[in-house]
Amino acid sequence: MLTKIQIWQRLNQMGVNKALAEIETVLSQVDQQAVFEQERARIRVEVWDKLTPINGIPAEKIIAREDVPNDGEIYLLYVDDQLRFFQPHNPFQAGLVPMTRDNVLQIANQHADQLAWQAADEKIFEMVLEKLLA
């Protein structure tokens, strides 16, 4: 979620000088949660069954990759039905930490939420910028 300070900093980097009060007023008119929810709806989470080919690549070949743990779970993230992430380990921990049945969906959804907020923040910034420069 973007703050008025973050927007102010980005505007300054662009050479746009606006008062914090003005930024706050415009930002308050944007439903950031709704923008996030639109972005999140574009992302689909799937736990891979380790049997189904991915993009035409046989499962056996994918499982043979060095970064695929023998006993860990793997998730896929699709954005607009296009595979964007094949995740064989926990992206929030250093190293190749395997995921379990108990935590794979929580980790996958956390990753999806993070991606959705990144995309939402960009849209929100553009919305605020348009209103400030209008």
Q: What is the pLDDT of residues 77-120, one digit of tens each?
A: 999 999 999 999 999 999 999 999 999 999 999 999 999 999 99
- pLDDT value of residue 88: 97
- What is residue 48's three-state secondary structure? coil
Phi first, then psi, for residue 133 (nearest 5°) are -95, 0
State which amino acid sits at residue 29: Q
Q: Which long-range contacts (CB under 8 A, 24 or more apart) does 20-24 make?
A: 22/132, 23/128, 23/132
- pLDDT value of residue 134: 86
Using one digit for the tens of pLDDT, what is the confidence trace for 52-77?
999 999 999 999 999 998 889 999 99
Range of the domain at 59: 4-133
How many folded domains does the chain comprise?
A: 1
49, pLDDT greater than 90: yes
Judge if pTM exceeds 0.95.
no
